[in-house]
Amino acid sequence: MTGRLAPAAAVTAAAAVPLLGRDYYATLMLPFFGYSIALLGLNLLFGTTGLLSFGHALFLAVGGYTAAYLGSTLGVRSLEAMLAVALVVAAVIAVPVGWLCVRYVKIYFGMLTLAFGMLFYSFLYKFYALTGGDEGMPVARPSLLGQGFGELDKTAYLIGPYYYYSLALCLVAAVVMWRIVRSPLGLSLRAIRENADKAEYVGVRVRRYRFYAFVIAAVFGAAGGVLLVVPTGLAAPTLAYWTHSGNLVFMLLLGGFGHFFGPVVGAFVFIFLQDQVMSVTQYWRFVFGAVLAAVVIFLPHGLMGLLARRADA
């Protein structure tokens, strides 16, 4: 029962946040939705398939820049169009990148994804004419389901229609990923994670399925990237920087990559913890380093692992 109640309660709580009158916290929830979607995808690659990417921020940047380019350069206003194009662009980029990366596993896979992430970062940084270089690209306020919401100021737009749009998209992404994880592909991927050699002998096309997981993760990453840049109004090259990929991995570890909702919990705690710590000290990275070390040592299964243990007891 608690298995269904907890997510339902979480969604209700998330839906209630803008009604509380604390606009600041509502705006903090916006990156949470974007990161949740991206991490659900990344966790298909890591938690389910056993491949740890250190370059996944690449795909968040692909999403962010696609939205920015469509909005600023081509004058596209529809967020649905931005999302659709971003998913396609991410898939197109993930095909060659994934095809190369899944030939390797473990640290080699991690390093190769890191390399591609940095390659893309350099591209964003240097191709000024196309990407705006270090200044990035502005992201115009998109319309949602054909509605411009011109009468709302920026904050009202973000914590109103955009907030619920993001929440809905996050729910859709979670449902889709829930199905993927419980599908035949999901089982095949878990078999690969558990024992890739054995999986081959029972007929699993290991490399191909890893590739599928990579592309799916990329598409989720891009969707998350689109949602991230709208509130900030900017797609900057740091989206693709390796520390951003590192943050994604941190969130997975924090929440617990062994649990379906681990990535979502990780994103939530990361964002709110970062906000709190940054307001207290400029040495927030120092605190985060300590938190990461503590999580790895004391909570190897993340916060969800702790909750699951409590539930079992």
Partner 1 sequence: MTPLLEARDVVKRYGDVQALSGVTMALRGGEFVSIIGPNGAGKTTLVNVLTGLLRPTSGRVVFKGRDVAGVGPVRLAALGMARSFQLVNVFPALTVAETLAVPALARLGRGARPFASLARDAEVADSVAEVAELFGLAEKLPRLARTLPQGDKKLLDVASAFALRPEVILMDEPTSGVSTRDKTAIMETLVQAARRIGVKGIIQVEHDMDIVFAYSDRIVALHQGRVLADATPDAIRADDEVVATVLGRPR
Stretch that binds partner 1, among 6-14, 81-89, 197-205, 264-272 (CB under 8 A): 197-205
Stretch that binds partner 1, among 63-71, 196-204, 233-241, 303-311 (CB under 8 A): 196-204
Q: Hey, which residues between 123 and 162 contact partner 1 (CB under 8 A)? A: none
| Comparison of 3 and 203: residue with beta carbon closer to partner 1 | 203
Task: Report the residue from 8, 24, 145, 201 that binds partner 1 according to the rule CB under 8 A.
Answer: 201
Q: State yes or no: residue 103 binds partner 1 (CB under 8 A).
A: no
Give how far Cα 239 sits from Cα of 58, 162, 278, Å: 7, 21, 19
Q: Give CA–CA dist 4/2, Å, rounded.
A: 5
191 touching partner 1, by CB under 8 A: yes
Q: Is 185 in the site for partner 1 (CB under 8 A)?
A: yes
Site string for partner 1, 202-231 (x = CB under 8 A): xxxxx-xx--x---x---------------
**If binding is defined by CB under 8 A, does position 183 make contact with partner 1?**
yes
Q: Where are the alpha helices (DSSP H) in 142-195?
A: 154-157, 163-181, 184-194
Q: Pick between residue 103 and residue 182 the one whose CB is nearest to partner 1.
A: 182
Identify any residues that bridge with 168 across adjacent strands, giving them in sequence order.
Answer: none
Q: Closer to partner 1 at the Cβ: 74 or 175?
A: 175
Question: Is 198 near partner 1 (CB under 8 A)?
Answer: yes
Q: Report the residue number, 216 or 253, with the smaller CB distance to partner 1.
A: 216
Question: DSSP assignment, residue 142?
Answer: P
Q: How far apart are CA 305 and CA 266, in angstroms?
A: 12
Assess 195 for contact with partner 1 (CB under 8 A).
yes
Cα–Cα distance list, 265 to 30, 41, 255, 292 (Å): 14, 14, 5, 15
* Host H or E run for residue 137: strand 137-138
The least CB distance from residue 193 to partner 1, in Å, is 8
**Total binding residues toward partner 1, as defined by CB under 8 A:** 28
Q: Taking each helix axis as running N to C, give the angle between helix 242-255 and helix 57-72, from 0 to 180 degrees, rounded to the nearest 10.
A: 120
Please report, in angstroms and rounded to a whole number, the separation of the first and last CA atoms in the chain: 16
Q: How far is the CB of 212 from partner 1 (least distance, A)?
A: 6
Calpha distance 305→291 (Å, rounded): 16
CB 93 within 8 A of CB 119: no
**Interacting residues toward partner 1 by CB under 8 A:** 176, 179-180, 182-188, 190-191, 194-195, 197-206, 208-209, 212, 216
